Structure formats: C-alpha cells, structure tokens
Amino acid sequence: MNTVFLRRILTLGRDRPVAMVAAFVLLVIVLGAVFAAVIAPDDPLAQDTPHRLQSPGDGYLLGSDNIGRDVFSRTLHGGRTALYIALVSVALGTAIGAMIGLASAYRGGWVDLLVQRVVDAFFGFPLMVLAVVIVATFGPSPNTVIAAIAVALAPQAARLSRSSALSVRASGHIVAAHSIGASSPRILFWHFLPHSLGPVLAYATGFVTTALVAEAALSFLGLGVPPPDPSWGGMLADGREFLEVAPWLTLVPAIALSVTALCFVVLGDFLRDVLDPTVSVPTHESALTQELVE
C-alpha cells in the first residue's frame, strides 16, 4: 500500500508541476524558518538606530525597520513563529475535531444530534471573532493563539470526520467488528479512523493557510505574538506607518505570508487528489487506483 501510495504521488506529481513547485518553495521556506538562527545575518531584536529605514541592499539584504532591525532576519524568525503556531494549532484542532466527529458518527442517535448542535453553535461564530474573544480573554501569547485557532478549527474538522465516518459506518468490516464483539475504542481506532482520516488530512493542509492568516491577523491587531518578538503580522503592523518612505517593511512580510499560504493551498488540493481513489491517474495506473480503492 505504501509503495502504491508513493507511486501515485509521483505519477500525479508529474502531471501537476505547479504542485511540485509549491512543494519545493515550501521546503525552502520551512528550512529557512527551522535554521533561522544560522541563516539570519543579525539578531532579529538588535537595534541599530543610526541606520534606521535603510533601503534593501544598503548594508541590509532586505533593508532595516524604523529602529534599525534587520528585516531579513526578522522575516526568517517570524516565519518560524508563524509556521510553529499554524502547524501546532492545526494538528491540535484537527485531532480534537476528528475524534469528536468520529465518536459522534459512531454513537449516532441523540448523542450525534447533541454533538452536531454544539458544533453548529460554534459555526455561528466567525473564526476570527472566536479567536479574538479567546485571546482577549486569556491574554496574548503564542500558546493562547495556538489554543484559540485550534478551538476555532475543531468544529470544521469534526464536521469533516463525521461525514467521512458516516460513509463507512454501514460497511461490511464495521458490521463484522460489531458481530465479533470488538470494543468501541478498537472499532473507532482500527476501523473508523483509518477510513475517515484521508479527507480530514487533506483538508487539514488547507487549514494551515487559515491558521497562518489568523495568526498574522491577531499579531497585526496586537493580540498575537507580543513584541518585540518577530511575527509577520506584527511586522505588517509596524510597517504600515512607513508605507510611503519604506514600503519594504510591509512588502517583505506580506510576500512571505502570501507565498507560504498559497503553497499550502496548492499542496492541499494536490493531497486531496492523491487521497481520492476516484481521481484518475495518467497512463497505466488503473491497477494502482483499484488497489487503493480496495
């Protein structure tokens, strides 16, 4: 199965070069964020006021900000913060939501009805409104932002996992597991979860884009990563006052955020095609597709 899955990725990847380019660009961004402390030429918090608002290339690769901090170094470290918050919040929110959705579909009846009404209540709040309320209540910090975004994303993951689980609840292997007296946890983790995880994982890649934008928006509003720690949203907020004299203060983090979010969107679409066995693959891959279906 793993070999078939890998061959399917490679086959579809050759047919979708944009996805491969997005994967490469995202790999570069992730490596830059992970090794920011090594790659960054300067301390992102170090101030050099005599050389404030230096244009790109004039002693600073991407210029300096209003108090002389290196924009390139702050962008790298801001990317580390943004990716950490986005990935952890999506993983947490997806895990919580997936388990809620699976349990709801498995139990059915009044339990399913009650859980879905609670999920509907959370859907009544826009993601950013719910995140702002949580962060404003508990105070801005990276952990609070992670928790806020995870809580806001969990209802979407719950709805997705429930829909996938409902499609396999009446399948033969689920009925067989019940007939031999398998326990509820075993049925959930060994039967429901593997058959429901694909669509959730595919959409979770798209959730990363939502989390990136949400983190940047919260930091822009002063509710995200507290200054002076670098974040893309905070850099956008700091640079808005200098758009006419130093546009790079806004353009650099804006481009970094936009490119990263776009790469995750493209990869999310590609992953949905890879995990969907009904999507045809080019030339002589029908046997592989049939094996995936089975």
Q: Average pLDDT, stretch 181-193?
A: 64
Quick: pLDDT tens for 29-60.
999 999 988 998 888 888 888 888 888 887 78
How far apart (Å, rounded) are the C-alpha atoms in residues 157 and 136? 24
CB-based contacts of 65, cutoff 8 Å, min separation 6: 52, 53, 71, 74, 235, 238, 239, 246, 249
The DSSP line for 30-83 is HHHHHTHHHH-SS-TT---GGGTTPPTTSSSTT-B-TTS-BHHHHHHHHHHHHH
* Tokens 């994982």, located at residue: 201
Which amino acid, 26? Answer: L
Q: What percent of the chain has pLDDT over 70?
A: 78
pLDDT at 278 over 60: no
pLDDT tens figures, 203-256: 788 889 999 999 999 999 888 888 888 899 999 998 888 888 889 899 999 999
Task: Give the pLDDT band of residue 259 (cuts 50, 70, 90).
Answer: very high
| Range 8-27 average pLDDT | 79
Helix H segments across the chain?
2-15, 17-34, 36-39, 71-107, 109-123, 127-138, 142-168, 172-179, 184-187, 193-220, 232-239, 248-275, 286-293
For residues 249 and 247, what is the distance between their CA atoms, to the nearest angstrom? 5
Residues 6+ away with beta carbon under 8 Å from 50: 68
CB-neighbour burial class of residue 179 (10 A; exposed 0-12, middle 13-18, buried 19+): exposed
pLDDT of residue 291: 46
Supply the mean pLDDT for the chain. Answer: 81
Tell me if 134 sits within 8 A of 151, measured CB to CB: yes
Residue 279 has a pLDDT of: 53
Burial of 244 (0-12, 13-18, 19+ CB in 10 A): exposed
- How far is residue 93 CA from its own chain's centroid? 10
Which tokens belong to 87? 């990935």
Fold of 2-40+62-293: MetI-like fold (1.10.3720)
